[in-house]
């Protein structure tokens, strides 16, 4: 029987500054948040991955890969997924410590 005690969580891996830069951590966090919100939107509409595949013109396995973070979608693919969910992309200013 194999032991997987040596396997760490993604959070542990990302927290190790000797292995992952702050920029990489921010990018992964952004991707996780973005895909998480897409999944929430799909589920809120009562759609399955198959339903979203039909509505977006993508294949269900591609959606599964994106939702499981095994694939990062290009912007055009992301838009194909978001529009049937009633969403789009937008560029917004970053919040700063000065409250701008």
Instruction: Find how far residue 48's CA is from the centre of its chain.
Output: 17
Q: Of 6-15, 20-29, 32-41, which range is least confident?
A: 6-15
User: What are the structure tokens assigned to 85, written together?
Assistant: 């969910």
Domains of the chain plus CATH, in order, are 20-85 (1.10.260.40)
For the entire predicted model, the pTM comes to 0.77
Q: How many residues does the chain have?
A: 100
Instruction: List, in order, residues 6 or more apart from 59 with CB less than 8 Å away.
Output: 53
- Residues 46-80: pLDDT tens digits? 999 999 999 999 999 999 999 999 999 999 999 99
CB atoms < 10 A from the CB of 51, how many?
15
């Amino acid at each position: 029987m194999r032991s997987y005690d040596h396997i760490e969580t993604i959070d542990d891996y990302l927290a190790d500054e000797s292995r992952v830069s702050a920029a990489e951590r921010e990018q992964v966090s952004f991707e996780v948040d973005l895909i998480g919100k897409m999944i929430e939107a799909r589920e809120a509409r009562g759609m399955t991955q198959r339903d979203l595949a039909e509505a977006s013109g993508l294949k269900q396995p591609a959606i599964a890969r994106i939702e499981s973070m095994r694939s990062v979608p290009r912007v055009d693919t992301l838009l194909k997924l978001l529009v049937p969910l009633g969403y789009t992309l937008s560029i917004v200013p970053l919040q700063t410590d000065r409250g701008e």
